[in-house]
Structure 1
Amino acid sequence: MTSKLRLAFASVCCVALVGCKPIREVINNTLNAGTVEGVSQCIEMSAREILSEETIKINCIARFNKDVSPSTAQNVTGNAGPRSQSGSDFFSGTMTNKTEGHVITEVVVVVEFRKVGETEGKRFQAVISGWFEPNGNPVDFRSKDVEDAPAAWDVSKYCEDEAGDDCWGWYIQSVKGLKL
């Protein structure tokens, strides 16, 4: 009889703890870190009366996204270039997520400007935040503004070889995402 009583008491305690929001959040953070499911549950548990849905979504994505492996990151590609508009300098273009099990949420791109005869130029980071689903379809993006961009930010040409004019190039430095 005491074993049945203990089992019943343990069951009641588990149900009570799982129903408690702070305990549910700890369980979600532990079991669903780096996953779309973790973001979904985070959104579900968030206070909608205080914050907008968009703010809640951004916060939950930031809490749950993780660096993806280099083998996964190599499946994120794009066509882009430096742009200027209304006094803002940024990096924009299209990005394609060719992974098979990740939503990409953040890409850090390094843009390098070289002057004729230089082997290394000045580097700038461009952070691209978004929701790039693993369907292989290109998605337009615009990075956050780039600080201290060079005067010729949007008029230089892409570096195709070592000779010629001033030019720019870019590469993906890091990728964050969520497992499906």
Structure 2
Amino acid sequence: MDIRPEQLADGVTLRIAERDDAPALAAAFVENRGPWEPYRPESFFTAEGQRARLEAQAREYAEGRLVPWLLVSGGRIAGAVTLSGVVLGPFRSAWLGYWIAADRQGRGLATAAVERVCRIARETVGLHRLEASTRPDNLASQRVLEKSGFEPIGMAPRYLHIGGEWRDHRLFQRILHDDDPTSAF
């Protein structure tokens, strides 16, 4: 996949994550660590831990199973957006995940990034549908999804282990198009 960097508002660039982003990404995770995250070993919050993670993501990206974007501004990581579990064929779907640095929230950055990723998912990756989930109390993330054309499709009880407990999540989807996928096989 040839996915080029794109400019968003306020000098933020949406681009594919690279191995050299490890120190900045580790710093961003340390700075934005919170109780809403799954358990992560301390090595996750180091440059070496992020380097290993980015290398694994690069392999999945090369295989067409994952697309790892970073939101970068002035050499700092302002957030990330990931399409994971990319499946083509008749399913043509993936899971969308994202986070925005605490000091960049509330400015429309998440909505702009999600909308741009949806366009790329359709036009470049060739997907039909994206799915995302949020904790029921994460109203800001739900607003981002709804503004970006996602619709709620249900509740998943005890969906993810976060903050030491299995947590319920609201599920959302966005249908990107209804084109016949047979020409893409």
TM-score range normalised by the length of the shorter chain: under 0.3
Per chain length, whose mean CA-contact separation is higher, i.e. which structure has more relative contact order (CA < 8 Å, sep 6+)?
1
Structure 2 length normalisation: TM-score?
A: 0.23
Q: Which structure: greater helix fraction?
A: 2
Larger Rg: 1
TM-score by length of 1: 0.24
